[in-house]
Amino acid sequence: MSRELDSIMRPESVAVVGASTRAGTVGNEIVCKLKEYGFKGRLYPINPKAGEICGIKALGSVLEIPEKVDLAVIVVAKDIVLPVIDQCNEKGIKGIVVVSAGFKETGAEGAKLEQELLEKIRQYGMRMVGPNCLGVINTEEKIKMDASFADALPLSGSTAFTSQSGALGAAILNISKDFDLGISQFVSIGNAADITAETLLDYWKDDVNTDQVLLYVESIANPQEFSRLSKQLTKEKPVLAIKAGRSSAGASAASSHTGSLAGADLAADALLKQSGVIRVNSLLEMFEVAEAFANCPVPRGKRVAIMTNAGGPGIMATDAVCEYGLEMAALEEETKNYMKSYLPEAASVKNPVDMIASAPLEHYRNTLKALINDGNVDAIMVIYLPLMNLDPIDVSKTVMDIKGQYPEKPIVAVIMGKNEFFDKIKKIEKNIPFYQYPEPAANAMSKLYAQRKWQQRPVGKEPLYEVNRDKAAGIISKAVSENRSQLTTLESIDVLDAYGIRTCKYAFAGDVDEAVREANKIGYPIVMKITSVKISHKTEIGGVIVGINSEAELRDEYSALLGRLRDKNLEDALDGVIIQEMVKGSREMVCGVATDPQYGHLMMFGLGGIFVETIKDVAFRVNPVTDIDVREMVQSVKAFKILQGSRGEKPANILQIEETLLRLSQLVKDFSFIKELDINPLKVSDKTGEGIAVDGRIEVVPEEALKILSDESIILL
pLDDT of residue 531: 87
- The set of residues, in sequence order, having a beta carbon less than 8 Å from that of 547 and lying 6+ positions away, is 525, 527, 582
- What is the DSSP track for 42-63? EEEEE-TT-SEETTEE-BSSGG
Report the pLDDT value the prediction gives residue 541, as an integer from 0 to 100.
83
Distance, C-alpha 358 to centroid of its chain: 45
To the question of domain 505-582 being in CATH 1.20.1290.10, the answer is no
**Which tens digit of pLDDT belongs to each residue from 139-166?**
999 999 999 998 878 899 999 999 988 8
Mean pLDDT for the stretch of residues 252-280: 72
| Mean pLDDT across 128-137 | 96
Q: Provide the pLDDT for residue 2.
A: 57
Q: Do 296 and 448 touch, CB atoms closer than 8 A?
A: yes
Residues in contact with 19: Cβ distance below 8 Å, sequence separation at least 6, in sequence order: 27, 28, 30, 31, 45, 46, 47, 50, 53, 58, 75
Q: Count CB neighbours of 20 within 10 A.
A: 22
Of 61-65, 489-493, 612-616, give the range with the top mean pLDDT: 61-65
CATH number of the 3-210 domain: 3.40.50.720
Q: Cα angle vertex 321, ends 394, 342, to 5°?
A: 45
Tell whether the model's pLDDT for residue 387 goes beyond 90: no
State residue 555's pLDDT score.
Answer: 95
In order, the DSSP letters of 635-700 are HHSTTHHHHT--TTPPPP-HHHHHHHHHHHHHHHHH-TTEEEEEEEEEEEPTTT--EEE---EEEE
**DSSP string covering 447-495, please?**
HHHHHHHHHHS-----------HHHHHHHHHHHHHTT-SBPPHHHHHHH
pLDDT above 70 covers what percent of the chain? 96
Reported as a pLDDT band with limits 50, 70 and 90, residue 612 is: confident
Q: Give the pLDDT confidence score for residue 255 in this predicted structure.
A: 43
Model confidence, pTM: 0.88
Q: Which helix (H) or strand (E) holds 125?
A: none
pLDDT digits (tens, 9 = 90+) for 388-443: 778 999 999 999 999 999 999 999 999 998 889 998 998 899 999 999 999 999 99
CA atoms within 13 A on the CB side of 261: 28
pLDDT, average across residues 344-352: 97
Q: What percent of the chain has pLDDT over 90?
A: 79
Average pLDDT over residues 621-633: 96
| pLDDT single digits (tens) 281-318 | 999 999 999 999 999 999 999 999 999 999 999 999 99
* Mean pLDDT value of segment 31-35: 96
Q: Report the Cα 514 to chain-centroid distance in Å.
A: 51
Rg, C-alpha atoms of the chain: 32
Specify the fold of 297-456: Rossmann fold (3.40.50)
- The mean of the pLDDT values for the chain is 92
pLDDT over 80 (residue 648): no
Question: Is 505-582 the same fold as 297-456?
Answer: no
| Strands 145-148 and 135-138, bridge-based pairing | antiparallel
What is the average pLDDT across 483-503?
94
Q: How far apart are CA 217 and CA 221, in angstroms?
A: 10
Confidence (pLDDT) at 715 = 45
User: Domain spans of the chain?
Assistant: 3-210, 297-456, 505-582
Of 140-154, 332-346, 564-578, give the range with the top mean pLDDT: 332-346
